[in-house]
C-alpha cells in the first residue's frame, strides 16, 4: 500500500496526494477530503514524517539532471545549489539518466517527498512526443516546475532558456561570410535546445543563399572519440568540408583531434566551433572557439524566477538569456 495506490484510487496525481499529506493549502477542500477518505479506505499509513505535518514547507527543492558528470550539468547543479542555499533552500538531487521511465520515476519519487518545487536541469527533460510530457504538465498544477534550458508551454511551468537559435544563426553567418562553404554540423540530441541550434544553422545558410545539405548534418554521441571517428569516416567517404560546427564542446574536441592527426591547419583549412564554452574547449591546442551559454546566468535567473513564484509575484513563463560567442583559436572571423 503506497502513495501510488492512493493516487490511482482517488483519481488524483501523486503530487496532489503529496500536497494533502503536507497540508498544502493549495488543494481544494473537496480533493483533500477525497484523498483522505481513500487513505482511510485503503488503510494507508504515510511515513512518520509525512504524518501530521499540517503546515509550512520543508524549504527543499528537487533537482533532476540526466548526468551530473556532464560538464555543463555539473556547472548547472553547482550554481543552482548555491543560489537555492543562499535563499535558505536545500537541494535534493536526482541523476535520472536519459530514459523516460527513469525520469518519470525520479520525478514522482521527489514529488512524494515534500519538495516545494522541481528544477529540471538541461534540455533532456522535454520529450518530443507531447503526451510524454503529461506528467510534468499535470504536476505543474500542484507545484512550480522549472526548466533550465528546456521549454514547455503549460501553467506552472517556467523556462529559462539560452537563445541557441540566435547563437547558431550568427556563428553560421560569420563562417559563411569568412568564406566557409561546406559546414559540417554535428549534434547530439533532438532536444528543444538541439532543434533550435540546427534551425539556426539551416536558416543562416538559407538566408545567405547556400543549400542546406543533408549529408553535412549528422547526429553523434556526446563523446570526443565518437565524434573524431565519425568525422574521419565522413572524410574517408569523400565528403569535403571546411568547417565543423557542433552542439557540444566534446564533439568539437573530436574535430580538433581529427585535424591534428591529419595535419589539417586550423582554422585556415578547417574552422571548428564548440558549444557551451566548457573547460574542454580550453584543453586543446589550438583552443576551441565556443558559444558561452551562460549557465550561471541561466541558473540564477531560474532561482530568481522561482522565488518570485513563491512570493506570488507575476513572472514570465519564459526567460531568454543571450549567449556569447567566445572566439579563441579555431575560428578567425570578425564577430
Under rule CB under 8 A, residue 94 binds a copy of itself: yes
- Could you tell me how many residues make up the chain? 335
Q: How far is the C-alpha of 193 from the C-alpha of 45, rounded, in Å?
A: 43
Kindly state whether residue 220 participates in binding a copy of itself, applying the rule CB under 8 A: no
CA 303 to chain centre: 15
How far apart are CB 312 and a copy of itself at their closest, in Å? 21
Alpha-carbon distance of 39 to 200, in angstroms, equals 52
Smallest gap from Cβ 204 to a copy of itself, in A, equals 28
If one asks whether residue 206 binds a copy of itself (CB under 8 A), the answer comes out as no
Q: Which three cell numbers stand for residue 3?
A: 502513495
In the block, which residue shows the cell 495506490? 5
User: Cβ–Cβ contacts within 10 Å for residue 31, how many?
Assistant: 17
- Tell me, rounded to whole angstroms, the distance of Cα 231 from its chain centroid: 26
Of 12 and 14, nearer to a copy of itself (C-beta) is: 14
Indicate whether 260 belongs to the interface with a copy of itself (CB under 8 A).
yes
- Give yes or no for residue 101 binding a copy of itself (CB under 8 A): no
Does 47 bind a copy of itself (CB under 8 A)? Our answer is yes
Contacting residue, 261, 269, 322, 335, with a copy of itself by CB under 8 A: 261
**Cβ closer to a copy of itself: 83 or 173?**
83
The residue among 74 and 235 lying less far from a copy of itself, judged by its C-beta, is 74
Asked whether position 235 contacts a copy of itself by CB under 8 A, the answer is no
Q: Which is nearer to a copy of itself, 91 or 170 (CB)?
A: 91
Q: How far is the CB of 87 from a copy of itself (least distance, A)?
A: 13
Strand intervals (E) in the chain: 60-65, 90-95, 117-121, 145-148, 157-162, 183-187, 217-219, 243-246, 271-275, 289-292, 318-321, 324-326
| 56 binds a copy of itself, rule: CB under 8 A | yes
Task: Pick the binder of a copy of itself from 31, 32, 78, 154 (CB under 8 A).
Answer: 78
DSSP, collapsed to helix, strand or coil, labels residue 302 as helix
List 90, 166, 232, 242, residue binding a copy of itself (CB under 8 A): 90
Core vs surface per residue 79-112: b (16+ CB within 10 A) or e: bbbebbeeeebebbbbbbeeeeeebeebbbbbbb
- Selected binder of a copy of itself within 8, 85, 190, 208 (CB under 8 A): 85
User: Any contact of residue 285 with a copy of itself (CB under 8 A)?
Assistant: yes
Asked if 143 is part of the footprint of a copy of itself (rule: CB under 8 A), the reply reads no
Amino acid at each position: 500500500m503506497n502513495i501510488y495506490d492512493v493516487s490511482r484510487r482517488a483519481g488524483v496525481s501523486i503530487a496532489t496526494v503529496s500536497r494533502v499529506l503536507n497540508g498544502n493549502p493549495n488543494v481544494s477542500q473537496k480533493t483533500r477530503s477525497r484523498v483522505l477518505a481513500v487513505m482511510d479506505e485503503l488503510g494507508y499509513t504515510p511515513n512518520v514524517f509525512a504524518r501530521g505535518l499540517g503546515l509550512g514547507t520543508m524549504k527543499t527543492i528537487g533537482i533532476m539532471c540526466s548526468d551530473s558528470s556532464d560538464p555543463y550539468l555539473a556547472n548547472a547543479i553547482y550554481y543552482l545549489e548555491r543560489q537555492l542555499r543562499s535563499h535558505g533552500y536545500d537541494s535534493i538531487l536526482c541523476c535520472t539518466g536519459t530514459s523516460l521511465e527513469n525520469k518519470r520515476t525520479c520525478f514522482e519519487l521527489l514529488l512524494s517527498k515534500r519538495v516545494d518545487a522541481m528544477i529540471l536541469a538541461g534540455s533532456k527533460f522535454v520529450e518530443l512526443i507531447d503526451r510524454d510530457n503529461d506528467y510534468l504538465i499535470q504536476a505543474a498544477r500542484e507545484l512550480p516546475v522549472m526548466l533550465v534550458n528546456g521549454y514547455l508551454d503549460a501553467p506552472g511551468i517556467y523556462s529559462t532558456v539560452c537563445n541557441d537559435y540566435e547563437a547558431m544563426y550568427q556563428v553560421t553567418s560569420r563562417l559563411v561570410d569568412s568564406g566557409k562553404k561546406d559546414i559540417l554540423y554535428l549534434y547530439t540530441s533532438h532536444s528543444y535546445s538541439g532543434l533550435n541550434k540546427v534551425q539556426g544553422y539551416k536558416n543562416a545558410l538559407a538566408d545567405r543563399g547556400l543549400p542546406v545539405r543533408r549529408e553535412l548534418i549528422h547526429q553523434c554521441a556526446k563523446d570526443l572519440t565518437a565524434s573524431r571517428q565519425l568525422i574521419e569516416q565522413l572524410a574517408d567517404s569523400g565528403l569535403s568540408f571546411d568547417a565543423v560546427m557542433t552542439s557540444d564542446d566534446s564533439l568539437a574536441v573530436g574535430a580538433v583531434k581529427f585535424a591534428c592527426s591529419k595535419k589539417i591547419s586550423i582554422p585556415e583549412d578547417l574552422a571548428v566551433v564548440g558549444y557551451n564554452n566548457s573547460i574542454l574547449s580550453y584543453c586543446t591546442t589550438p583552443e576551441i572557439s565556443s558559444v558561452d551559454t551562460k549557465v550561471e546566468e541561466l541558473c540564477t535567473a531560474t532561482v530568481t524566477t522561482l522565488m518570485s513564484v513563491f512570493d506570488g509575484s507575476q513572472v514570465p513563463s519564459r526567460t531568454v538569456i543571450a549567449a556569447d560567442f567566445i572566439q579563441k583559436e579555431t575560428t578567425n572571423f570578425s564577430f
